[in-house]
């Protein structure tokens, strides 16, 4: 996780009342704040879009020493609470210690301070005298100094590219004298040279940085009481005759940023710009389509988005029955994976590979085909109910019926597959998917993502009943397919696909994880990713066993893959996103829409 992504996550989780940063320059870190903000830099040159979406911004073109000497805490904070600070100013040890002491005086015990450039890669980057290129200065010395002289503070050294950060908590605003001690320490420290390089190397060998995800988990941060949950700021708009208008002056700088960030290598910033644009209903259609294309350039391999991801290829046969569609389900300690649905006119199902353990070598067992109204069956997602019965949710397409499809559920009984319970037909053939989810009160089925439509099945009557219809983030309009859902803290996790078409006719497909809240409203999503073939992978299934997720993918239309993931690593990769009508903190877990207001479990 890039250091700006870690800072963005702190903004999302903490939702600070006031954010302060030392060292602004072009405004990369400034752009992350959606709170009341104080920025200090002797020569600030922020881009226009980085100053948007804040209740107020106080930008001081001065040094940090002069700022704290000339400004009163209470008047500047306007009675607010300094909850988050970022120190990335002059890269000199003594100066950083003065900055930290000054911030501590303005802070409270719950304030979080992030210090950048504490983890150089080689001694040359950490010279005490400035040089061109990557230069962190001797900021690394802050870490051992605080360990020795401020044991009351909790400091986490975090390996967040580039140059790492130190996250400091447990501040004491009444503490004084740290900066003077640092100056005295500085006088006796070796200048640049062989001895200094030896000290840098020795410290780098002793340092034990943690992953950003582990640092966040260790902090166990609770949302601030003045926040309304994780949200993504909207672009500035106007209202004319009751219609919301998004002017070009609002979206154009963000759109340009969605392009420039790619060439600068700022992946997280580019993703954020694309999400901000795509979540705006008022964006011009041609700009929206271009943004969907821009977004695909930021798609990364799965193991970069979700650290520790592992996968293996499943055995398949080139039997002409169409591409594999691996979809896992777990019952007890057994992992079952539906490998392929039947071909047109051939009936139901081809094969299930059974696993003795997750990702172990499978034994392929073929279940005989059985006709199901001679329909073509696709997107088959297995799941187990509380009584241990195997069911599948699937889409049924009658040959020759191009404009409508039916969704359904079948149970595997003692004599094979029971007759399906069917819902539909529906124009568009349930193109956004038909995703089963087992809850404490029975299975649920997500039939649409925008808006998010949820059904439940009365097995006694065979009738489907709409249970919820929730307003969704506008970006969900492109979600397609969908895995089974699995329960995670705060809601349910799904795997979806998105496609984008280019003018040359090339179409690419990428995956992302989506989390629904307990009331079935989309609250979080991951960046786009691929597994083995960039732009040619599709997610098809998801199961959970303890803290392990098993996901199925089809790569290049021919290869079936299974992936093992840590559920916490997946949740750490999610970004909060707003939906119209999203419940505020402390409200019921559902929001009425179009007359459907059934609270769901």
Confidence at residue 232, expressed as pLDDT on a 0 to 100 scale: 38
> Is the CB of residue 162 less than 8 Å from the CB of residue 170?
no
Q: How far, in Å, CA of 509 to CA of 501, rounded?
A: 9
Residue 72 is predicted with a pLDDT of 94
How much is the pLDDT for 593?
29
Give the per-residue pLDDT at 371. 44
One-character DSSP codes across 300-338: EEHHHHSTT-EEEEPP----SS-----EEEEETTEEEEE
- pLDDT at position 601 is 30
Ranges under pLDDT 70 in the chain: 220-244, 316-322, 341-375, 398-404, 427-428, 579-601
**Cβ pair 516, 528 in contact under 8 A:** no
Q: Where are the beta strands (DSSP E) in 213-370?
A: 238-240, 243-245, 300-301, 310-313, 327-331, 334-338, 340-341, 349-355, 363-366
Closest CA to 559 of 353, 198, 314, 239: 314
For the chain, state the CA radius of gyration: 27
Q: 42 to each of 23, 96, 458, 525, how far by Cα in Å?
A: 8, 15, 67, 38
The reported pLDDT for the residue numbered 570 is 92
Distance CA 99, CA 137 (A): 15
Tokens of 96: 């950083």
pLDDT at 514: 96
């Amino acid at each position: 996780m890039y250091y700006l992504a870690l800072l963005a996550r702190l903004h999302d989780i903490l939702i600070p009342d006031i954010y302060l940063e030392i060292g602004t320059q072009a405004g990369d870190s400034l752009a992350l704040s959606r709170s009341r903000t104080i920025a200090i830099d002797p020569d600030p040159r922020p881009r226009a879009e980085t100053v948007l979406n804040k209740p107020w911004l106080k930008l001081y073109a001065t040094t940090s020493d002069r700022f704290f000497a000339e400004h009163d805490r209470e008047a500047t904070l306007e009675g607010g609470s300094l909850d988050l600070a970022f120190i990335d100013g002059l890269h000199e040890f003594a100066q950083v210690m003065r900055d930290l002491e000054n911030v501590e005086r303005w802070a409270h015990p719950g304030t979080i301070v992030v210090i950048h450039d504490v983890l150089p890669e080689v001694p040359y980057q950490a010279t005490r005298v400035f040089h061109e290129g990557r230069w962190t200065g001797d900021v690394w010395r802050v870490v051992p100094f605080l360990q020795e002289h401020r044991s009351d503070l909790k400091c986490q050294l975090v390996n967040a590219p580039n140059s790492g950060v130190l996250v400091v908590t447990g501040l004491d605003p009444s503490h004084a004298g740290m900066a003077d001690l640092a100056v005295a320490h500085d006088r006796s420290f070796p200048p640049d040279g062989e001895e200094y390089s030896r000290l840098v190397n020795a410290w780098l060998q002793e340092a034990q940085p943690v992953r950003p995800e582990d640092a966040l988990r260790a902090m166990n941060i609770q949302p601030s009481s003045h926040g309304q949950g994780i949200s993504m700021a909207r672009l500035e708009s106007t209202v004319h005759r009751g219609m919301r208008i998004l002017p070009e002056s609002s979206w154009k700088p963000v759109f340009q940023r969605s392009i420039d960030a790619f060439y600068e290598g700022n992946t997280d910033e580019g993703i954020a710009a694309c999400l901000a644009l795509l979540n705006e209903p008022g964006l011009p259609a041609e700009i929206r389509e271009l943004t969907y294309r821009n977004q695909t350039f930021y798609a990364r391999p799965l193991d970069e988005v979700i650290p520790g991801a592992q996968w293996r290829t499943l055995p398949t046969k080139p039997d002409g029955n169409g591409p594999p569609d691996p979809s896992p389900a777990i019952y007890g300690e057994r992992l079952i994976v539906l490998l392929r649905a039947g071909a047109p006119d051939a009936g139901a199902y081809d094969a299930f590979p059974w696993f003795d353990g997750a990702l172990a070598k499978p034994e392929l067992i073929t279940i005989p085909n059985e006709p199901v109204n001679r329909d073509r069956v696709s997107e088959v997602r297995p799941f187990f109910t509380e009584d241990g019965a195997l069911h599948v949710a699937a889409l049924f397409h009658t040959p020759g019926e191009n404009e409508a499809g039916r969704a359904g559920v079948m149970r595997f009984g003692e004599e094979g597959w029971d007759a399906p319970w069917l819902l539909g037909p529906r124009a568009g053939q349930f193109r956004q998917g038909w995703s089963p989810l087992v809850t404490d009160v029975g299975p649920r089925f997500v039939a649409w993502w925008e808006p998010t439509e949820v059904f439940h099945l009365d097995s006694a009557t065979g009738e489907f009943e709409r249970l919820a219809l929730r307003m969704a983030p506008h970006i969900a309009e492109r979600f397609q397919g969908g895995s089974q859902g699995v329960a995670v803290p705060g809601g349910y996790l799904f795997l979806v696909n998105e496609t984008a078409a280019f003018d040359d006719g090339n179409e690419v497909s990428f995956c992302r994880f989506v989390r629904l809240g307990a009331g079935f409203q989309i609250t979080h999503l991951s960046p786009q990713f691929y597994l083995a073939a960039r732009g040619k992978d599709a997610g098809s299934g998801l199961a959970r066993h303890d803290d392990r997720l098993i996901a199925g993918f089809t790569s290049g239309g021919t290869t079936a893959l299974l992936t093992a993931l840590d559920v916490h690593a997946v949740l750490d990769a999610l970004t909060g996103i707003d939906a119209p009508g999203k419940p505020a903190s402390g409200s019921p877990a559902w929001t009425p829409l179009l007359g459907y207001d059934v609270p769901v479990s």
